């Protein structure tokens, strides 16, 4: 669907989106204030440090390599799930989404338990690529299921092979979805701390965390975080420009081909679909279970402490998902139905937090809560809000796609029958977009369950989650004691990941138009 026909932005919606964008910009405002107060001497000293180019190069190389790997592997997996005739299709979809439930630090922890010599760039690239692939697979699969194959047939009739026809006919239709997934992978990699820290690969996030935790040099850390934010800004703007150039509406009737029969390739393709989940979850889980069984402190788990951590994980992640959904909805509606500089600015404000380390978001909220709302400091509410801000881009992407798939013709018909704008939104757009919005909230929840740095900084005194319990034992190499928390975290996060894998795009609507893949 193209964006809405109205060029005028609704005032109430614009104000609501601006308010949400301002809340999402709290970490950015904090960085600007911190850098401004640092002084030119501190700025010059930081920029002249010899390690700065190495940190920048390492971060960029890792982000580029992981994103490229996720796209190259994720798109073929999505094609197999959406276009191939496979036995037990829902099961394969659930298996492909399983890595979503695996935090990078758990995967890294499990691989280190199995192979202690893993370290450096290649180890970080390997694990982050594995956990990042589902962010491309899920949107690409949904886009492939709703994309037309007419253009592929035309390309085949002109003499192109199957791959050439896919590149010419289908790839332009799913490119916006692939770009959205690639953006999430890039920002996730850029802001990751746990995985790279365990593999001892030095990037911006490890330097920022060390500056805050060890030397507590907030000016140095804030300047590094600002550079990281500028890199994230370039990535977000680049994705925006590419997405605008790649809009392909599937207007008019079209034909979807029957699932492709793979014949002798069925078994190899099914075996290939097992590889990523096996490497991401299977190997780490097996290694941790073995360590748990062998551990002398196997019986030292406190059931009450374990249950409290489990309950806190579910409650806080659910709260963060609801906050993210509330902040994302006005911005996503504007993005789906309107264009212009103000809309693009709001999109950028909403997307940048995912590129910031959790510790920066945590410190910004500590600063704001102590200065403005001291009663809010170290409460469950501020931690849930941090989750909502950190993972707001994931909510915006899901809600935007869901709203864009609702035909504007249906809204026009409802308005012509006397419905007010608010009533049409609630009874038509919101109802049709609600499954996609719910999927976006689930994606935020499953990601929030795994968040570590912000949780360590903002959790109320005495409150632990599965992630913090796991990290406290990871830090002292207590593999056996940490295994139950790692396994529980995987099991809990796998529930929303499974639900996400079962999402299906809506069928073509009565006008014959097909939802946009963007």
DSSP sequence for 11-71: HHHHHHHHHHHHHHTHHHHHHHHHHHHHHHHHHHHHHT-THHHHHHHHHHHHHHHHHHHHH
Does residue 364 carry a pLDDT above 70? Answer: yes
Q: Is the CB of residue 269 less than 8 Å from the CB of residue 80?
A: yes
pLDDT score of 120 = 93
Does residue 507 carry a pLDDT above 50? Answer: no
Where would I find the H helices in 257-391? 266-277, 283-294, 303-337, 341-351, 358-371, 380-390
Does residue 201 carry a pLDDT above 90? Answer: yes
3-state secondary structure string across 203-240:
CHHHHHHHHHHHHCCHHHHHHHHHHHHHHHHHHHHHHH
pLDDT band with cut points at 50, 70 and 90 for residue 394: confident
pLDDT score of 463 = 87
Q: Is the CB of residue 195 less than 8 Å from the CB of residue 218?
A: no
pLDDT score of 511 = 31
Written as six digits, the tokens of 376 are 């809010």
Q: What residues does 250 pair with on adjacent strands?
A: 514
SS3 262: coil
* Calculated CA dihedral for residues 98, 101, 104, 108, nearest 10 degrees: -70
Maximum alpha-carbon separation in the chain: 72
Which whole number is the average pLDDT over 225-242? 83
pTM of the model: 0.79
Q: Is the CB of residue 334 less than 8 Å from the CB of residue 13?
A: yes
Which whole number is the average pLDDT over 80-89? 82
Does residue 484 carry a pLDDT above 70? Answer: yes
Local structure of residue 379 (DSSP, 8 states): S
Does residue 106 carry a pLDDT above 70? Answer: yes
SS3 260: strand
pLDDT in tens, 418-472: 777 777 777 787 888 888 888 888 889 888 988 888 888 888 888 889 888 877 7
d(CA 116, CA 505): 43
Give all domains of the chain, ordered by start, each with its CATH number.
Answer: 49-243+269-294 (1.10.3720.10), 297-503 (1.10.3720.10)
Of the candidates 237, 458, 439, the residue with the CA atom closest to the CA atom of residue 355: 237
pLDDT band with cut points at 50, 70 and 90 for residue 152: low
pLDDT score of 438 = 86
pLDDT in tens, 242-270: 766 655 444 444 555 567 777 788 888 88
pLDDT score of 439 = 83
Q: Given the structure tokens 């949400």, which residue do they identify? A: 20
Q: Mean pLDDT lowest for which of 17-26, 153-162, 277-286, 457-466? A: 153-162
% of the chain with per-residue pLDDT over 70: 85
Does residue 359 carry a pLDDT above 80? Answer: no
């Amino acid at each position: 669907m193209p964006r809405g026909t109205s060029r005028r932005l609704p005032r109430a919606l614009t104000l609501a989106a601006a308010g949400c964008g301002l809340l999402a910009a709290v970490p950015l405002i904090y960085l600007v204030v911190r850098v401004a107060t640092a002084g030119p001497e501190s700025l010059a000293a930081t920029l002249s440090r010899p390690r700065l180019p190495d940190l920048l190069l390492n971060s960029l190389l890792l982000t580029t390599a992981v994103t490229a790997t996720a796209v190259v592997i994720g798109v073929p997996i999505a094609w197999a799930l959406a276009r191939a005739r496979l036995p037990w299709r829902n099961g394969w979809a659930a298996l492909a989404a399983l890595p979503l439930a695996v935090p990078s630090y758990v995967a890294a922890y499990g691989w280190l338990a199995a192979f202690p010599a893993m370290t450096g760039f290649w180890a970080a690239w390997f694990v982050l690529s594995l956990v990042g692939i589902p962010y491309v697979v899920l949107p690409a699969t949904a886009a492939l299921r709703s994309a037309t194959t007419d253009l592929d047939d035309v390309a085949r009739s002109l003499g192109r092979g199957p791959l050439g026809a896919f590149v010419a006919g289908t790839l332009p239709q799913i490119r916006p979805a692939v770009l959205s997934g690639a953006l999430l992978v890039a920002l996730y990699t850029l802001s990751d701390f746990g995985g790279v820290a365990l593999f001892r690969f030095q990037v911006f996030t490890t330097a920022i965390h060390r500056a805050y935790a060890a030397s507590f040099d907030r000016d140095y850390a804030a300047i590094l975080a600002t550079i990281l934010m500028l890199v994230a800004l370039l990535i977000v703007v680049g994705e925006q420009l590419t997405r605008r150039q790649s809009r392909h509406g599937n207007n008019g009737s079209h034909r979807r081909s029957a699932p492709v029969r793979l014949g002798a390739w069925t078994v190899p393709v099914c075996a290939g679909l097992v590889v990523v989940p096996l490497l991401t979850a299977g190997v780490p889980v097996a290694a941790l279970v073995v360590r748990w069984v062998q551990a002398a402190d196997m019986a030292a788990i406190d059931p009450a402490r374990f249950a409290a951590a489990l309950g806190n994980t579910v409650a806080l992640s659910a709260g963060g998902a609801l906050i993210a959904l509330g902040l994302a909805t006005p911005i996503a509606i504007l993005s789906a139905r309107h264009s212009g500089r103000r809309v693009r600015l709001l999109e950028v404000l909403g997307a940048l937090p995912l590129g910031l380390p959790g510790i920066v978001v945590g410190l910004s909220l500590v600063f704001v809560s102590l200065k403005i709302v001291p009663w809010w400091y170290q409460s469950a509410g501020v931690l849930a809000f941090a989750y909502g801000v950190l993972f707001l881009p994931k909510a915006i992407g899901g809600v935007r796609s869901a709203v864009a798939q609702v035909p504007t013709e249906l809204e026009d018909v409802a308005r012509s029958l006397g419905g007010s704008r608010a009533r049409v939104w609630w009874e038509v757009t919101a109802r049709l977009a609600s499954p996609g919005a719910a999927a976006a909230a689930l994606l935020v929840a499953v990601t929030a369950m795994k968040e570590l740095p912000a949780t360590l900084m903002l959790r109320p005194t005495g409150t632990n989650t599965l992630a913090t319990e796991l990290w406290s034992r990871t830090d002292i190499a207590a593999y056996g004691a940490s295994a139950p928390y790692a396994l529980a975290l995987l099991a809990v996060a796998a529930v929303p990941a499974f639900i996400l894998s079962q999402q299906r795009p809506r069928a073509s609507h009565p006008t014959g138009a097909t939802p946009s893949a963007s």
